[in-house]
Structure 1
Amino acid sequence: MGPLTTIGLPVALGVIMFGLGLSLTPRDFARVATQPKAVIVALACQLLLLPAVCFGLVLLFDLPPVLAVGMMLLAASPGGTTANLYSHLFRGDVALNISLTALNSVIAVFTLPLIANLSIAFFLPGDDGLGLQLAKTIEVFAIVLLPVVAGMLVRRWKPAFADRMDRPVRIASIVILVVVIAGAIASNLELLVENFGRLAGITVLFCLLSLGIGYLVPRLLRVERRQAIASSFEIGIHNATLAIVIAQTVIGSVEMSLPAAVYGVLMFFVALGFGFLIRGRGADAAAAPATATATSGVAGEPSVEAKRSTGSSGDPRDE
């Protein structure tokens, strides 16, 4: 691994997490109390269902052990800030997205090393784990939370500066991330090309299942639709950059980062298609009551005399 990977990737992730912190306030954590059902359902999907689904997919696709651990690492990663953008585009509850991202970032400090360590113990028995080693847990904490806390402190002490810096930091994080990932791909191109075909199917299917679970489970439990959309993108769009950084810089395995690298490219297209799908379903659902109302007058429409007596023509445009 060259300096572009060992230094550039953590710096890129740090800038991204700092940008997240600039957009957060303590109210984003307090909002959980006002939307407990949506938050609990989303977190249950994220922390319990997704690792189980990913484990099943890994066994189904019979991935080599190192790639299997890489997929589990991806499943354990929290939602990325890109989820907020998709939620905004497809009319989700962006405030809920922000709260979930904030909570997930904190929880991931504990769950990500644990799931990674259990996966390594299962798929790579005999290798040193990640989660139960104090030094590496502290490293994950530093990578994930310290930049977020720094961004939140800047917002608290200098809110006007945080507002001005929000957009430049977002742009800078995208530019840095693209440059660093492009460099990392170029330096490991042969390895990536060799495994792309093997990983494309499982990463696309995992992304679709994550999005579907994030939307359907809340809806089945009667969570409001906008919150279900937010949950869907929060659960379906994982922080692939975090998974890559943990795999390459903390665990020290480039090959283990390949599932996240492939997923990070393909998820944008999968999430976009899914967003149009649920938006279309929402439009159909909204149109159904209107159609029922419009056609109900066929069987029980008031007489012309009754309409005249009430001063209504029966034409909605007259209302």
Structure 2
Amino acid sequence: MSLAVIDGGLQTTVQDLGRNGFAHLGISASGAADSFSLRLGNLLVGNAEGEAGLEMTLIGGRYQFNRDAFVSLTGSYFLNDLDGEDLPFYENVHVEQGQIINIGPSRDGARCYLTVQGGFDIELVLGSKSTHLMTNMGGFEGRPIKKGDEIKFGDARQEMEPVRIKQAIEMDCSTLRITKGIQHDWFDPDAWKLLQNNKFTVSHTFDRMGVRTAGQSIKTMQDTEVLTEGIPAGAVQIPGNGQPIISFVDHQTTGGYPKIANVITADLCKVGQLMPQDEFQFQLVSMAEAESLRLAQESFINDLKYSAP
């Protein structure tokens, strides 16, 4: 009852929805970079939405199933084949014992997710199965998986009705919606115009800690630095060079850069799909609109939750 890793891809890790509540100890939540896609994948195969899946970055890898299973691929589309047949995304698929699946490279985004009915049998660390790469904690031995690993997965039902998501919420990564950050008033109207009216390019140093960008330099009106304070996922920080950095799921928990904005909760999944050299713009929205967009996303999840077997 395991998944044999023939090739672990570029960076494939076990991720669930993260371990919240430990930032005061210097441990960020971690979890899926695109939690929306992971939740959909779990519901498609009959798991609880927060069960762990495999998060694959840019190149997914090659895997053999050592027993029959129901699986789902979600997130950005990665080229794939199961013994020569293309697996559809966003539906549950029956895989037979001995079959081999090849996943990747990506065609349109940074990450995809493989979920398996019954979930992956991974020990909980601080209440989560997620891999925290900064500390080599959790997941499969605290690291990306590699050739020769065998990842156990749980018991599954014998039969499952086909489920397919016909229309997911559109994930247009060319625009990231933001609300004002805690130091928003450190920046004059010209800085805000630069932030919203110019395109930024994702640098090659992107990772699960944060997304560094290149574009118009944003300058603060203040000469002083911020006293070290907490940093949430999605904070748009402005370092000395003026190039925005978006903190992400494995982010450091404190820092001293001013935070001009925060990416809204509903768009954090988009940050997880940005690839090097992608271009995007920031769009300022109200707190009310941000909450409305979050609720729409949750409504989509709930509709699937109560319709899936």
Shorter-chain TM-score above 0.5: no
Using the size of structure 1 for normalisation, the TM-score is: 0.21
Query: Counting strand residues as a fraction of each chain, which structure ranks higher?
Result: 2
Bigger Rg, structure 1 or 2: 1
Higher relative contact order (CA 8 A, sep 6+): 1
Using the size of structure 2 for normalisation, the TM-score is: 0.22
